[in-house]
Every structure is written in C-alpha cells, then in structure tokens.
Amino acid sequence: MMSSSFPIVRLKPKTKPQAIRHGFPWIYDNELVVDRRTRNIEPGTIAVLQDNERNPLGLVEVNPNSRITCRMLDRNLEASIDQVWLAAKLTRAYDMRTRLYEAPFYRLIHAEADGLPGVVIDRFGDVAVIQPNAAWADRLLDALVAALIEVTGVTTVLKSGSGRARALEGLDDVSCVMVGQAPDAAVPVTMNGATYMADLMGGQKTGLFFDQRANQEFAARLCKDARVLDVFSHVGGFGLAALASGAASALCVDGSAAALSLAEDGAGASGFEARFGTRKGDAFDVLTALADEGETFDVVICDPPAFAPSKPALEKGLRAYERVARLAAPLVREGGYLGLCSCSHAADLARFRGASVRGIGRAGRQAQLIHTGYAGPDHPLMPQLAESGYLKALFFRL
C-alpha cells in the first residue's frame, strides 16, 4: 500500500517534532490534532504522521483508544507493513539472539527496541509465545505468526492475552493456540545450570522471566555455601540459580501456590530437592515472620512485581520498594548480601536506588552497593525510550 492511500494524522502546533525525528517512537493523545476523523480511525490502522507544517515523519499505527495514540512503525513512507516487512524485523532480531545464546530459549522480540512496537515474543525451543500488546499487531497477528514460523522454524505459536498492556490498548484478554498444539505440561528451560519449569499457557506473562538471567548469574556468584532467601520467587529464579552454584540451601517465598509448585518441580529436575524449600504467603508478612523467628541468611534477594507501573503509582510504589528493603535487610547476616530488584517503568534507577537505600538505613544497616544489573541482551534498550530499560537490580553487601 502506497503512503498516499494511508490516512493522515498531524501533530499539534505546539508539539515539537524533534524528539520523534531523533527516534522517540510514541505520540501521546495530547500531542495530536484529534478531530472527529481521527477519533473514528479504526484501532491499529496505519497512517502517515505529519508535523504541524504537514511535513511527513513516517508511518505510524493509530489507536484512538490508547493514551499512546501513535507508535512509529517505519520512517520510510513507501514501506509496506506486511508479512515480508515483519519477517525482516524478525530476522534481524533472530540473528542477534542466535549469536548470544546456544539454546533457543530467550526473548526474541522486545517491542520497540526490536522495531515491532508493543510486540513481545519469547521463545521456548519449538514453541513461541506472542504478546501482541498493540492494536496494529493484533490486526496483523496472522501475518506475524506466519513470519515467525518462516524465520525461526518454531512449530507451535501461542498467543498470550494476559497483562496490563493489552487492557490499556483496549484489547481482549484471550489467550489461545495460534498454530500447533499447546504443551500438555510445563516446559523445562535450562539457565545458569538449573532447570526451570515454564507454564506457557497458565503462568505469568509468557511463562518465564528471561530478563533476570544475567542478574541471577551474578547473584549465584555470591551464593557458594550460602543460605539463600529468594522472595517473590515466581518459579524459583534466583533460588535455583543459587543452588546450581553451590548454595547450601535456598528458601523460595511467593504468594502463588502454582508458581511454588513449578519451583519445586524445577528443583527436582535439577537434583536440588534436598537443599530446596518453599514458603507460601504474602511476601511482606513472610519477611516479618522470618524476622520474628530470628532467621538470618547469607544472601537475600527480593524481586517483586512492578509496584510503580505508571507515573500515578510512582510514590506509592517507591514506598513499597522502601518497605521491602526495610523488612529484608534485618534478615541478612553481617557481611551478607542483599539483592533488590524493580521492573517498574515509572521508577527510574535513581529513584529506586534511593528508596532501597532509605529502607536499608531505616532497618539500621550500613551497605555497600557492589553491583547494578539490568535486563539481559535479549531485552535490548531503545536509547530514546527509557521504558524499554525497565529492569533494575541492585546488589548490596551489608
């Protein structure tokens, strides 16, 4: 389709286009001229974005139902956003992952940073899980699936409809099998010397959090012969990696019985069951109870959900991160290590670090910050979009 056949959307006169020309990929609803014609554009429609002087800036998807009304797809006005275009984006992403990882278990597409706005694809061997978290990708899902199979050779493709992002885009929450057959059991994934069990249809997000792989590897280096506490553990991310590196024991804490059951299965598959334990409950309550019981650990790691997923939630989220640090720090023995993580888009590194340090101080502990970690290279950061670098991991010696 030629650019002349696309609808046109235009920036308001006061909206400066420099950031967009320099690579920023989003245009918010208050930056566009939103008239009746624009409001009636079908979500996911591809349009030409112009500045207020009618100079074209590129091809965007339009979703009038979203705060992010436009997402940049291609600067080339003559691009055809079709299966061939999708396959080219996938090929570029696939080439990098195959250089980075020997086994086909990784995030294949990290949304804007891989040139496919709002799209997340995680690969689990012959199975791929897609989260089409933008309206354009939902509309082109069949073409995206066909391109994915063409490029990677996967035989099963699952759509995950869960997650806050789809709701913000006005999309359904339906998960389904697009191609192939859903696994009838959790899929084993080997990382950092441990085996993790990923529930691809019923688990959180796409079934496993690949983004913490590098941070789990670093934490494991601190854990030889250590007594380890992994809080908000999901399927045992930090705990199992610690055991693989020679930890004396690991206790995983999570509010989900299903996640802890998968963690136990992973421990069994890894041969760690004799050194592994779980405790179900609210993390704040369990941290408090462990302190009351006089427990201490050589290494404590807390990897909570996003307490500050948006700017309105920022202050409340920072208080929650401070509370995690305040409750976790007393459980770390003198000279031990505390790992604190945040996957909140709205809490940047400085704010998260400030909240963590305040919590440690309020617990009466002194700390050295020894390492700052981020998501692994299969979660590339788009330099113009801070939100693509959402994950922060701070490691302290207390």
Count other Cβ atoms within 10 Å, centred on residue 53: 9
pLDDT for 159-179, tens place per residue?
A: 999 878 898 899 999 999 999
**pTM of the complete model:** 0.94
- Mean pLDDT value of segment 294-313: 95
Sheet holding 176-179, edge to edge: 105-110, 119-124, 127-132, 156-159, 176-179
Report whether pLDDT(206) > 50: yes
Residues of the chain with pLDDT > 90, as a percent, come to 91
DSSP β-ladder status, 392-397 and 332-342: antiparallel
Cβ within 8 Å of residue 48, ≥6 positions away: 3, 6, 7, 8, 9, 56, 58, 59, 60, 77
As assigned by CATH, the class of the 3-74 domain is mainly beta
Q: Is 343 a catalytic residue?
A: yes
Average pLDDT across the chain, whole number: 95
The pLDDT of residue 4 is: 59
CATH code for the part of the protein at 83-179: 3.30.750.80
Distance, in Å, from the CA atom of 355 to the CA atom of 316, rounded to the nearest integer, reads: 11
Sorted by where each begins, the domain ranges of the chain are 3-74, 83-179, 188-397
- Mean pLDDT value of segment 1-24: 85
- Mean pLDDT value of segment 145-158: 98
pLDDT band at 2 (very low <50, low <70, confident <90, very high): very low
- Mean pLDDT value of segment 42-62: 96
DSSP β-ladder status, 176-179 and 227-231: unpaired
Q: Which of 252, 302, 341, 343 is catalytic?
A: 343
The pLDDT of residue 95 is: 98
Residues of the chain with pLDDT > 70, as a percent, come to 99
pLDDT for 229-254, tens place per residue?
A: 999 999 999 999 999 999 999 999 99
The pLDDT of residue 36 is: 85
- E strand or H helix at 109, and its extent? strand 105-110
Report the CATH architecture of 188-397.
3-Layer(aba) Sandwich (3.40)
Buried b (16+ CB within 10 A) or exposed e, 238-273: bbbbbbbbebebbbbbbebeebbbbbbbbbebbebe
